[in-house]
Structure 1
Amino acid sequence: MNLIVVLVVFFNLSSAATHHGDWSEWSNFGRCSNMCGKGAQLRTRTCTNPEPMNGGSYCLGPASEQIECFEKPCEDEWTSWSEFSLCSCTHGRGYRTRTREKNCTVDVSGGNSCGIKESETRECTASCNLVQKVDGGWSSWGEVLKCSKPCGGGIRIMSRTCNNPVPANGGLFCPGSSVQTSACNEQPCKVSSTQRPFVTLPSKMWVTLKKRSARISLKKNLNRMK
C-alpha cells in the first residue's frame, strides 16, 4: 500500500516538471521570390521539439531564415513610342521628338534603372519654311471706364484687343466682342427748386402755340400803326 502511494506522488511531481522549448528541424527553402533578377528564398522552423510547458522558456533564435537567390536575368521591356511632337523651329532648322519608358521588374546589376526614359529626335526643317497661319487671341480685359452719366442711368465700358497673338498669315480674328458694357448710376437725377422740369409737348400743340403767338404779334403791330 505504501509503495502505491509513493509511485502516485512521484508521477504527479514528474508531470508538473518545467519543460523548455526546443526547435524542430529546418524546412526546405521555398521558391525564389522573383522570377528574374535577385530575390530571396525562405525556410522556417517551429518551437515544438518539445513545446515549452509548465513555465518553460520559449526557443531562442529566429524562427525563419532567408538567403539570396538569382533565377535568370530580367529582360528590359520598353513601352511603345509616343507620337512625335510638333516641329520646333529655331533659326531656320526644325526638330521633333518622341519618347518611351523602360518598364522592367528588377535590374540585373542590382541597381534600379527601371523607369528611365529614352527619346528619339528627327529633323523637320522643311516644315519650318512653310508659312503657318496664326489665329488671333484676346488680351486681358482693360480697366473699366468711368460711368458715362452721374445719374439717370449711364454705361460703363471695358475693352480688350486681339493681339495675344495678332492674327497672321491669314489666321482667324478673335471670336467674340472687343467691348463689354454694364449699367451704372441708375438712380434718378434730383431736380433743384429753382429749376423747372422740362416738359415735352406734342407737335400739334406746338403748332397751335405758334399760331397764337403770331396773332398776338400781328394785333400789337396794328395797334401801333393806328
Structure 2
Amino acid sequence: MRSIFAIILLGLIHGTGALECYNCQNIETPSACNQSQLCTVGQSCFLEATDTAHGVLYQMGCLSNAMCTIQDTNAPGIVGRSIIQRQQTSCHECCSKSMCNDQLCAHSKPTACVDAETFDCAQANTLFSICKDVQHAKVACPRFCGLCNLVDGNWAAWSHWSPCDVTCGNGSNTRTRTCTDPAPANGGLNCTGADKQNRDCMLDKCPVHGGWSDWSSWGACSATCDVGLERRDRTCTNPKPDLFGDHCFGDNHEDRVCRNTSCAGDGARIAFSALLSTSQTRSSGQTIVFDRITVNHGNGYSSSTGQFTAPQAGTYQFGFSIMFYAPLSTDNECGFFLMKGSTQVLRSWSDTHSGKNGYSQSSVSYIIDLVKGGTVYVTSDRDGCYLYSPDLTFFSGVLLF
C-alpha cells in the first residue's frame, strides 16, 4: 500500500487543486459512502473518525488546507494530520487526490518491522519530526523510530449474555469484553468503545404473595358472667395473593380469655366497702357519699355518687355505721335511711344525751333482693347532722346468692 506520508508529501509539493471528494456524515464505515462533492480551490479531502456511545462514526468531505496542518503548538509533525485527539480513537486526516478520503485513518501496522521502501524516514524525521506522530510512524517507519515492540490493543470476543438479573418481571442482562486480543503494550493504543453492554430482559410477571390486614377489634365475650372467650380476626388481603403467590402464613383469628362479673351463686365476687375521707355535714334527703373505697369486687359501688348498682340480680346484705354530732337545734337526734331506689327500706336513728350537744353512732344491717341495675344508698333525714370520725363511718354490701 502506498504510504500516507508519500501522499501527503506529494500533495505538499504539487499544491492542491479543485478536487472531488467523498462527502458523507455520521456513517459507520467510509466504504459505504456513495456521495461526493467538488471542492473549491484551497481545499483538500478529509476524513474524521470519532468514537461515540454507538461506535465509531465517520465524517467525509472537503476541508480548507489551513485545517489540514498540524495543530500542535510545540514540535512540528506530519503535514495533513491533526495530532489533537479529543478521544483516543479520534482521527483527522487529509489527502490531496480526488476521492482519496475513503482510505484515511485505516493504517495497519506491518506484520514485519520494516520501514516503507519508498519513504525516506531519516529525511522525513528531519523535516517533519515524524517519530513524534507515533500512530503514523508505526506504519511507515517503525524500525527507524524504534516502534517494533509497539502493540495496539484489540477487543476479544464478547462474552455470552448474563442471565436476567431478576427471576420475574422486567430486568436487564449484560455482556462484557476485554482488550486482550492482543492487550496494548509499549505505548500502543488501548481498545476503544465500551467494554460492557446492557439490554432489557422480560420474564413472566411476578407472583403476588399475600399479606395480613390489621387485626380487628376484640369481639364481645362469649359469656355474660364468669369466664368466656373473645375473638378478633384478620384477612389475607394486604395484598391478596395472586399469580400463584403464597397465601398468608398463620391463623386468621385469635382468641383470648375474658372474665365478667360472677354468675349467681358466687357471692364472694360482688362485695364492697367504703369510708368517708373527711368529716362533713349533710342536709335532709341528701345522699351520703362514702368516697374512700376499700373493697369493690364487681365494681358495683360508685365513690362519686355514693350509690351501689347491682351488677346482677340476687340477694344482697347491706350495712352502714355512722358516727355523728347532733347540736341542740336538732333535738339531739339524727336519723339515716337505707334507700332501695327511691324507696326507704330502713331508718336508723340515735340521740345524744338529753338537753346537751353530743356525739352518737347509728348502725344498721339489712338484706335486700335486687334486680340487675337496682340501686342502694344511704341518706340523712335531718338537717345539720355533722358526720365525723371517717374511719368509723362506713357503708358496705355483699352478694349472698
TM range (shorter): 0.3 to 0.5
Larger Rg: 2
Normalized against structure 1, the TM-score is what? 0.35
Question: Which structure shows the bigger proportion of residues in strand conformation?
Answer: 2
Question: Which structure shows the bigger proportion of residues in helix conformation?
Answer: 1
Normalized against structure 2, the TM-score is what? 0.22
